[in-house]
Amino acid sequence: MTAPQATKTRKRPAPKVRDDLPAPQTPEGLLFHYTPAEAARWTPFSYRTLIDKIARREIDYVFNGRDNYLTGAQIVALTERLTVRPFTKAPARAAA
Q: Determine, yes or no, domain membership for 69.
A: yes
What range does the domain containing 71 cover? 34-82
| Residue 12 within any structural domain of the chain | no
What residue ranges of the chain have pLDDT lower than 50?
Answer: none
Residue 5 belongs to some domain of the structure: no
Q: Is residue 68 part of a domain?
A: yes
pLDDT of residue 42: 94
What is the pLDDT at residue 96?
Answer: 61
3-state secondary structure at position 72: helix
pLDDT of residue 41: 92
Give which of 10, 22, 70, 11 is closest to 45, Cα–Cα.
70
What is the count of structural domains for the chain?
A: 1
Q: Is residue 15 part of a domain?
A: no
Please indicate, yes or no, if residue 62 is contained in any of the structural domains. Answer: yes
